[in-house]
Amino acid sequence: MDWGTLQDVLGGVNKHSTSIGKIWLTVLFIFRIMILVVAAERVWGDEQQDFVCNTLQPGCKNVCYDHFFPISHIRLWALQLIFVSTPALLVAMHVAYRRHEMKRRFRHGEKIDIEELKNERIHIRGPLWWTYASSIFFRIIFEAVFMYIFYYMYDGYQMPRLMKCSDWPCPNIVDCFVSRPTEKTTFTIFMLAVSGICMVLNLAELCYLVIKVCMKEPRKTT
C-alpha cells in the first residue's frame, strides 16, 4: 500500500468531482505527492546521518537532533497528504451508496434518471451535496492545521544552517550543523506554496458549490 494505490483509490473519486475538484486532485498528485517521492525524500534522506555536532560526546548528536526535529518534514507532509486526500473517500462511499439505491429502485420498477445510471456520473445534489461540501471543508481544515503545525514546530519555515544545543549529555553549548539547509528551505517553501494553492482551490470549489445551489433556488421559486 503506497502512493500508487492511493492514486488508484482516489482516481475513482475524480469522476464525480467538479472541474475544480479535478484540478485540485491533479495538483495534489503531481505537485505534492510526486515531488515528495521523487525529490524531497532524497533531500531529507541523510538528515540524521549528516547532522553533525561539534563534539565527541556520544549521544549528544542524537539528543540534539531529536530536540530540533521532533518530527521530520517528510513525515509531516506524508501525514498531511494522507489526511487531506481521505475526505474524498467519504464522497466515494456516498456515491456508491446512491448508485446502489438507484439500482434497487430501478429493479422495483420506479422511475429514475436513466442517463445518470447509464453515464455513471452522479449529479451533486441533495445529501450528496452536503457530503461533498463537508469533504471540502475537512480538506481545508486539515491543510490549515498542518500548516499551523509546521509553523509552530519550525518557526518560520526557514531551515537554519547552525543550531546551538545544550541538552544533556552535551557539554555546555555545542554547535550542530544541519545538512542541505538551503535545499530544504527551497522545498519547504515550494510545498508551502502548493499547499496554499490547494487551499485556494478548495475555497473556490466551496464557493462554486454554494453559488450553484443558490442559483438553482431562485429558478425553482420563479
**Least distance to other proteins, CB of residue 222, Å:** 33
Residues 41-70 that bind other proteins (CB under 8 A): 41, 48-49, 57-59, 61-63, 65-66, 69-70
- Cell 433556488 sits at which residue? 217
Can you tell me the distance from the alpha carbon of 2 to that of 14, in angstroms, rounded to the nearest whole number?
A: 19
| Binding of other proteins by 93 (CB under 8 A) | yes
Q: Which of 19, 118, 126, 214 binds other proteins (CB under 8 A)?
A: 118
SS3 label, residue 156: coil
Instruction: Supply the minimum distance, in Å, between the C-beta of residue 63 and other proteins.
Output: 6
For the beta sheet containing 174-177, the strands, ordered from the edge strand earlier in sequence to the opposite edge, are 52-53, 174-177, 162-165
Of the two residues 104 and 125, which places its CB atom closer to other proteins in the complex? Answer: 104
Instruction: Name residues contacting other proteins, limited to 9-48 (CB under 8 A).
Output: 9, 41, 48
Give the closest residue to 168 by CA, choosing from 41, 67, 31, 29.
67
* SS3 sequence of 78-100: HHHHHHHHCHHHHHHHHHHHHHH
CA distance 73 to 154: 9
Closest to other proteins by CB, 66 or 175:
66
Interaction between residue 102 and other proteins (CB under 8 A): no
Q: Give contact residues for other proteins (rule: CB under 8 A).
A: 1-3, 5-6, 9, 41, 48-49, 57-59, 61-63, 65-66, 69-72, 74-75, 78-79, 82, 86, 89, 93, 104, 106-109, 114, 118, 169
